[in-house]
Amino acid sequence: MIVFINWAQKEINLKIVYYGPGLSGKTTNLEYIYSQISPACRGELVTLKTREERTLYFDFLQVEFGNIKGLRPKFNLYTIPGQIYYTESRRIILRSVDGVVFVADSQRDRMDDNLESLLDLEQNLNREDHSLEYFPWILQLNKQDLASASATAELQEKLNFLNVPTIPAIASRGAGVLETLKLAIQSTISHVHETV
């Protein structure tokens, strides 16, 4: 893992990537975080969208939280574009990643897309010499409000084969979004403590 620490400026930068299939709600997570965090603790939200409101390349938001070894960590939050053909963008965005939030779409007919995206994540992590098994990642089960959503137990059984922390969410209403961010930060920080 490469952790960027600038001791002179007392700065530590960690990169958390929101991954998942197209339309699962990754951009919605960042938009909600941006709307809830005081401007003193966050930068501007950079979103690059197609005309159809789909992420083109990535979204980016920097937030500041807590304390690691006397330093004030900055978390650089990115989303990947979920649409299948943006493979190269996903690889670039995963470079030097420190933690991942996998935003799954809970709707029954999106299960194959969730699994395909998880496999894509594993393959792209492998290119960075990581693997899901030993990497800090958490699972957000989004779109819990929809009638077509599977039960969380069923989603857990199919997607959470590594028993990572899980949060059900309705990102469009903000439910579970800040909890997800907190958990992702905790997982990422404890992994940094283990490896630095």
State which residue, 12 or 169, has the beta carbon closest to ligand GTP: 169
* Separation of alpha carbons 188 and 193, rounded Å: 9
**Four-CA torsion 183, 184, 186, 189, nearest 10 degrees:** 180
**Four-CA torsion 178, 180, 182, 186, nearest 10 degrees:** 180
CA distances in angstroms from 165 to 36, 90, 141, listed in the order given: 23, 23, 11
Please, what is the end-to-end C-alpha distance for the chain in angstroms?
Answer: 9
- As measured in angstroms, the least distance from the Cβ of 175 to ligand GTP is 8
Options 12, 19, 58, 79; binder of ligand GTP; rule CB under 6 A: 79
Options 13, 83, 96, 156; binder of ligand GTP; rule CB under 6 A: 83
SS3 state of residue 151: coil
Is the CB of residue 138 less than 8 Å from the CB of residue 102?
Answer: yes
- As measured in angstroms, the least distance from the Cβ of 117 to ligand GTP is 9
Q: Count CB atoms within 10 A of the CB of residue 60.
A: 17
SS3 state of residue 137: strand
- As measured in angstroms, the least distance from the Cβ of 22 to ligand GTP is 4
- As measured in angstroms, the least distance from the Cβ of 58 to ligand GTP is 9
Residue 24 partner contact from Mg ion, ligand GTP, none using kind-dependent CB cut-offs of 5 to 8 Å: ligand GTP
State which residue, 28 or 188, has the beta carbon closest to ligand GTP: 28
Options 14, 19, 24, 55; binder of Mg ion; rule CB under 5 A: 55
Closest-CB residue for ligand GTP?
A: 82
Interaction site with ligand GTP (CB under 6 A): 20, 22-28, 54-55, 79, 81-83, 142-143, 145-146, 170-172
